[in-house]
Structure 1
Amino acid sequence: MRRYAPPGRAWYALRRTLPPWSWERNLDELLRFCREARIDEVIVKVDTEEFSHGQVPLDWLREYLPVLEHIRNALAEIGVTYSLNPWITLGHTDRGRDSRKAFPDMQMMVGHDGAECKACACPLCETWRTHTTQLWRLYASTRPAVMWVEDDIRTFNHLPVRYGCFCPLHLKAFSDRIGRRVTREELVEALLAPGEPHPWRARWLELQGDIMVDVVANLAWVVQETSPETRMGLMSSGPDLHCLEGRRWWEFARALQGQADHLLSRPPLGIYSENSLRDFYYGGASIRKTRRALPPGAIELTEVENYPFSTFSKSVALTAMQMALSSALGCHGVTLNLFDHLGNPMVNSAEFGRMLHEEKDYLTALASRSSPEAKFAGIGILQHERASVTKHLRPGADYGELADDGGAWAPLLEAMGFAVTWDWENAPVLALSGQTVRAFGDGEVERMLERGVLCDLQAAQALIDRGYGRYLGVKIAKRGLIHDLGPVAAEEFFDPEFGGEPQRYLSATLPSLSSDLEVGVLELAPGARALSRLVDCDRQVVAPLMTVFVNELGGRVAVLPYDLGGLWMMAGFVQPFRREQLHAVLKWLARGPLPLFVLAGGYALPTRAEEPGFSRVTVFNLSLDPWQDTRILLSANGRQCQRVEFLDESGQWVPVPAEQWRTTEDGCLCIVHPQPLTYRRPGAWCVFWKP
């Protein structure tokens, strides 16, 4: 197959719509833009957004096919790759469309609450499958390098349907599986039953997973039968949400890949409109979580999107940061959805083109040291595609609460300078939150508890429910909202061995200005030790908080009995006192230096990746304040440093003077960066180890 997005360079794939009424002038501008902005690929979007017809009429597409062929040929003449991105598969939302008029036999999506779509189809519907097969055969006839499947290939977020599909076809298929007729109301009640999951939940998610594997296998077959050289691409919505529909990632990916050598993946980065630099935590996690979920070998092009377009929506600087994040985390390139799909000229936002041209050399230098095969090192975070199957729900839970909730520690730890990883198997410490640990087998859980584990309230409860309470060193006497405990004032960090001292207080109300945070009142087992406690307005003890314990397996466990998934305001939790305590606790859990700790101003996004012969460290400053004298501390694992290189502003890897790095007594490599580090570009270092 044709070589595509070679590793070690920045690959730009522009997503662009050329509407039927303006495609000729749009194409002239597009060809100029590709040359000037150094675009490698154009992903043509079809029947897009505001001018979408809903379910695409076959006659409309037949008339538009010559336009697509003309675009493909024109791009080929200037050496730019042509790919195709139909805007819908099932349909995103109705947006006032009613495709039932054109397709009266098409079954539309039905929600768990009975809501019905008018333009978003049910994936079991044979009318939809036949129509989509015809459409995709026509799309494939234009021989695109990649055919992208949009993130509407899911059962949730098809407004007015929030969670589907509970149409008659799905209910019949499920009834056939369990051997009796089931109504929508019965099924939803069983799926959301509190406590121990109802057996139907696993069967329902299995059915949904089976249906979607069958759907994407057919899409791949149709495309590759028509155009054998075409690869398939998948836009996804993140593993946490796809749990809701029982996605079995490896099986799903293999089915969609078809006969091609690679599948393409487009993980979401969020920040469609600019708000806060803190939103970067979502994108950094999304890249790593999606990569973890997929089989090895996928080509990754992240979703850099500006909606509703122009610099009024998102700045050029923030867009460049997202591109740098993609290169730093080993992605092959970026897809760029920067301009509207209404036929308006791109010159209206010419700033983006200039930025793309100027940044490419820097991004290529960053990508040259960043491979997708590298394993990230840090505090381990769990995810599991069966988390929705095993989750215990509260009475009256919303359907969305079935989502995987195992990542709450990740942005909190990163903000305080601790690198995290979803490659958790070799992590010295695991940070457990939510109920994801319920999805793991007994042997896996016991191996976790043999090393260092940090638990929030929900994770501790899940382990206790499974019979592992004696390994935690605590019992949960009761749970409730923090202000139900009385006039709680502050958390006191009193233990000097773990970053505390008497009367060192942190507000207990800041995390819950909008709503109370749930907390557990712990009873400590013999040998357990409290490091902090809640106190009232007279400084009297209300309840212990952070505890540490060495269990009978030899593992070390710390419990902080906050439900971190319910934390409303990050700034109330990530504080200098908290960072100091957690640094000591995590080192104690790890029995030595941490994989990576960055001591700098507030809101870091640090990563460490292990490449052959060197470790790559990148640090994003997600605050507006420049950092001075940033300190990078990474475990050497018994190795000696040979040299350190830093990526400078011009995109050159330059040696770091020997006086700026040293090995500490506890086996850390400490790098001091004396120059200001701003949000504009990440700090990037390569540490080469002696053979």
Structure 2
Amino acid sequence: MDKLTALHVMPLLPGHEADLAADAFDLIRSGVATDCACMMTLVPEGNPPQNKAKILGDRFLAFRDAYPGDTAHLGILAQATIGHGYVPDEPASFQQIVRPDGSLAYQMCPFDPAFQHYIREAIGHLASLRPAFIMIDDDFRLLTGRNGCFCPLHLAETGRRLGRSLSRTELIGLLSDETVARLYDNVLLDSLLQLAGVIRDAMDETDPALPGSFCTCYGDVRHAGAIAGRLAGKGQPRVVRINNARYLNPEMRSFPVRMYHGTVQIAALDDDILVLAETDTCPQNRYSTAAALLHAHYTGSILEGCHGAKHWITRTRAYQPASGAAYRAVLGRYQQFYETLFQAVQASRPDGYAASALPSASFFNAAPVHGDRGGSEKTWGALLGVLGLPCNYARMPDLPVMLTGEDVGLFSDTDLRQLAAGGMLLEGAAAVKLCARGFAAAIGVNAVPYQGPRVSAERWGQKILGSDSTYAHLEPLGPKTRVQAILLHRKSGVDESFTEMGPAATLFTNDSGGRVVVLAASVGTSNKLSSFGFYDADRKLQLLELLSFICGRPVAFHYPGDAEIYLKLRRFPDGRYLLALFNLGHDPLDTIPLASPLAISRVEQIAPDGQWVPVALESGALLASLAPAEPKVFRVTAKDR
């Protein structure tokens, strides 16, 4: 893929067609956007439903008439079809989605024939206007925020496939059986595919090759590839916009977690799918999202593998052009930076280890309990992503991996055997779960939940490390398992003597050659004081030693200070490294300390204009500043000393 795809989402505001058209033209001409997605909310309103497609189609034509450039760049975003859940002043009478508790959501059931007819008429009319494309927004789903549909139509179809009649409560009782849960999941997907087919058929009446694309949500990504394929059009690629926006979130410590959510979705999609990020500044002004955060988010999304974005940089409810000025300025300034970064990511691959791995098959997040879930609820990335240690996410990588207890359930035994052969660093909870699944011999210890006197501290060499809140008891299986650190207990905070309570960390090489580290402690969440047994300078040094063990070589690069730095590390086929550093804290860095065991001969940085420019490295620091929320990307030439 040669270039990024960037959609500019634009409202159709009557009376402002000329201004909006001129703005869209400037964005496309400058390269900030490649296409314009004119927003239309088609969820039915009124009884009988109002002909919203006719009204919004007329607005689209007025905008297109005012557009001074090539109208082949002007498409339609069907921003709501089934509905996002907002109840209108006058609701329509179609079958609504029934939640697991029996309540109604103002979201239309895709199985309802009357609703299908409404959508067919609406899309058919819009397709007849010959837009450049039609994109279906992410209300078109039945898992995230829905956890299924238990309306009479879905109950009847599920019952037909099971060969029995079903009530809502009876079906929910059966869904604890995975066989039934997968059958019901197929019913949910089939209902969406049926409605997607109605949409595609309506588009085909005008042009079978009219491009159709799809927006998914985190928990629904398992369905996204099939739906995108049904919508795509003759000879057109599948396009999926993932759901990785940071809605109304002004802080940056959670940034690595949201990047993980994006990677989960990318990993669930086939490699031939064009993936767009959701760089949504909702509600599209800087009281919600700073321009610097938009820049960081787009940069991070490209690093995770996105091929572009669906940008929301224009107020949708009112004509307020000043609210989008800073967004346009930052995207315009860095437009060539993004293109150069995209090419660099395409030409490189993650290096060192994976702070979180994704399974070979997507996690089955069955309704009605797990519909919102797509991946792990806690990864090492939340820790490493602020400590300044390399933090890569990858699907079944050919690299050592780090696993939390929450990660383990995502993987099949086959996947876990492969990961164990490549090397692993495990928190205590992960070791307990792996042992319960028969993997004790692969990790060198038998791990069970810790029961005993409270852990007061850990001894690693000559250092005393602070304790964490949750531990496992580790029992080495033999002399091949080495103890790297010891759990300690003392009677009081002023007692200078400790009692040893067992291993705090073990090192082991299994029969497949995989190097395995097991920590007794488990990582806590970043916003709790009890987790600072890991948010700690000495623990960071210990982790570097342990990571060097599982990798069989020292960690190539890391940030040695205590600012909150998110570091991505990749490598090119010619041996050079790609480093991206994000300042997640509130303190600006005048220079960027960079530690490496390698002999560095050259460092270059992607400038805003997309050029690689030299950067000096003096006394272990890059002579480049890093402002809060700012990313910078470097290419480093280095070799072993």
TM over 0.5: yes
**CA pair 357-290 structure 1, distance change in 2 beyond 3 A:** same
Shift of 1:61: 1.5
Mapping 1:177-326, distance limit 5 Å: 177-191=161-175, 193=176, 198-238=178-218, 241-242=219-220, 247-248=222-223, 250-326=225-301
- Unmatched 5+ residue regions in structure 2? 493-497
CA positional deviation for 1:87 = 1.5
Aligned residue among 473, 476, 496 for 1:521: 473
| Aligned amino acid, residue 654 of structure 1 | V
Q: Distance in 1 between matches of 2:201 and 2:555?
A: 47
Which residue of structure 2 lines up, in the alignment, with residue 13 of structure 1? Answer: 7
Work out the CA distance in 2 between the residues paired with 1:143 and 1:537: 77
Identify if the C-alpha distance between structure 1 residues 38 and 270 changes in structure 2 by more than 3 Å, giving closer, same or farther: closer
Distance 1:271 1:439 in 2: 24
| C-alpha distance in structure 2 between counterparts of 1:211 and 1:31, whole Å | 36
**Corresponding residue of 1:664:** none
Partner of 2:102: 114
Report deviation, 1:406.
6.4
What is the aligned partner in structure 2 of residue 618 from structure 1? Answer: 580
2:417 alignment partner, SS class: helix
What is the match of residue 609 of structure 1?
Answer: 570
The answer to whether the Cα contact below 8 Å between 1:644 and 1:685 also exists between their aligned partners in 2 is: yes
**Taking every aligned residue pair, what percent have the same amino acid on both sides?**
21
The residue type equivalent to 2:350 in the other structure is: F
User: What CA distance in whole angstroms lies between the structure 2 residues aligned with 1:600 and 1:55?
Assistant: 63
Give 1:109 deviation, angstroms. Answer: 0.6
**Which residue among 560, 581, 584 is the counterpart of 2:542?**
581
- 1:634 and 1:390 mapped to 2: Cα distance? 42
Find out whether 1:597 has 2:558 as its counterpart.
yes
Separation in 1, partners of 2:352, 2:46: 45
Match of 1:533 among 474, 487, 490: 487
Rounded Cα–Cα distance in structure 1 between residues aligned with 2:541 and 2:321: 49
CA shift, 1:416, in A, is 2.1
- CA apart distance, 1:170: 1.8
**Retained in 2: the 8 A contact 1:405–1:565?**
no
Q: How many Å separate the matches in 2 of 1:33 and 1:14?
A: 11
Do structure 1's residue 418 and structure 2's residue 410 form an aligned pair?
no
- Choose 416-425 or 107-116, whichever is displaced more: 416-425
Superposition deviation, residue 588 in structure 1: 0.6
Name the counterpart of 1:133.
120
Q: Which residue type is aligned with residue 109 of structure 1?
A: I
- Deviation string 1:267-323 (CA, Å, 9 cap, x unpaired) is 233322242122321343244333222112333332212223322222222222223
Distance in 1 (alpha carbons) for counterparts of 2:528 and 2:241: 29
CA distance in 1, matches of 2:549, 2:300: 31
Contact 2:281 2:312 in 1 (8 A): yes
Name 2:17's counterpart in structure 1: 24
From the superposition, tell whether residues 365 and 446 of structure 1 become closer, same or farther in structure 2 (CA, over 3 Å).
Answer: closer
Pair 1:377 & 2:351 matched: yes
Change (3 A) 1:264 1:190: same
Alignment-derived partner of residue 506 in structure 1: 466
Question: 1:579-601 CA deviation, whole Å, 9 max, x = no partner?
Answer: 11111111111212346534344
- Name the counterpart of 2:495: none
Q: Is the alpha carbon distance of 1:592 and 1:56 closer, same or farther for their aligned partners in structure 2, counting shifts above 3 Å?
A: farther
Aligned to 2:74: 82
What SS does structure 1 have at the residue aligned with 2:39? strand
**Contact conserved, 1:231 with 1:264, CA < 8 A, in 2?**
no
Tell me, what secondary structure is at the counterpart of 2:246?
coil
Query: What is the distance in 1 between the residues matched to 2:524 and 2:178?
Result: 24
SS at match of 1:77: coil
Q: Is the 8 A contact 1:174 1:204 kept in 2?
A: yes
Deviation at 1:92, TM superposition (A): 0.9
State the AA in 2 paired with 1:495: W
1:71 aligns with 2:63: yes
Superposed displacement of residue 620, structure 1: 1.3
Tell me the distance in 1 between the aligned counterparts of 2:579 and 2:152.
52
CA-CA distance at 1:653 after TM superposition: 0.9
Aligned equivalents of 1:98, 1:479: Cα separation in 2: 58
Q: Does 1:491 align with 2:457?
A: yes
Greater shift in the superposed pair: 648-657 or 147-156 = 648-657
| Deviation of the 1:235 alpha carbon | 1.8
Distance 1:203 1:17, change over 3 A: same
Query: C-alpha distance in 1, partners of 2:236/2:372?
Result: 37
Separation (CA, whole Å) in 1 of partners of 2:477 and 2:157: 50
Q: Which residue of 2 aligns with 1:676?
A: 625
Deviation by residue 1:508-538 (Cα, 9 ceiling, x = unmatched): 3xxxxxxxx5543333333332524253553
TM-score between the two structures when normalised by the length of structure 1: 0.79
Q: Counterpart of 2:431?
A: 460
Residues 13 and 40, structure 1, Cα contact 8 Å, conserved in 2: yes
Cα 1:225–1:252 change in 2 (3 A) is: same
Q: Mean Cα displacement is larger for which, 85-94 or 602-611?
A: 602-611
Deviations 1:15-72 (A, max 9, x none): 11113x43536536645764689544221111389xx848994623223323212323
The alignment covers a number of residue pairs equal to 626
Q: What CA distance in whole angstroms lies between the structure 2 residues aligned with 1:425 and 1:365?
A: 27
Please, which of 126, 129, 137 is the counterpart of residue 142 of structure 1?
A: 129
The 1:294/1:348 distance shift into structure 2, 3 A limit, reads closer
- Give distance in 1, aligned partners of 2:32 and 2:518: 51
Partner of 1:668: none
TM-score with structure 2 setting the length: 0.85
| Aligned equivalent of 1:171, options 155, 162, 173 | 155
Q: Which stretch of the first structure deviates more once superposed, 603-612 or 538-547?
A: 538-547
Deviations along 1:142-184, one digit per CA (max 9) or x if unpaired, are: 32333212111221355xxx42212222222222223333332
For 2:321 and 2:329, how far apart are their aligned partners in 1? 12
Could you tell me which runs of 5 or more consecutive residues in structure 1 were left unpaired when the two chains were aligned: 1-5, 509-516, 662-670
Cα RMSD of the aligned pairs, angstroms, is 3.7
The offset of 1:189, in angstroms, is: 3.5
User: What residue number does 1:554 align with?
Assistant: 513
Closer, same or farther in 2 for the Cα pair 1:291/1:633, shift >3 Å?
farther
Contact 1:603 1:622 in 2 (8 A): yes
CA distances 1:603-638 after superposition (whole Å, capped 9, x unpaired): 222223344545422221212223434215488xxx
Cα pair 1:387 1:436 within 8 Å, conserved = no
In structure 2, the residue corresponding to 1:92 is in which secondary structure?
Answer: coil
- Deviation of 1:651 after TM superposition, in Å, equals 4.4
1:378 and 1:596 in contact (8 A); partners too: no
Matches within 5 A, 1:288-367: 288-329=263-304, 331-367=306-342
Query: Structure 1 residues 249, 80: CA separation in 2 closer, same or farther (over 3 Å shift)?
Result: closer
Give the aligned partner of residue 475 of structure 1.
446
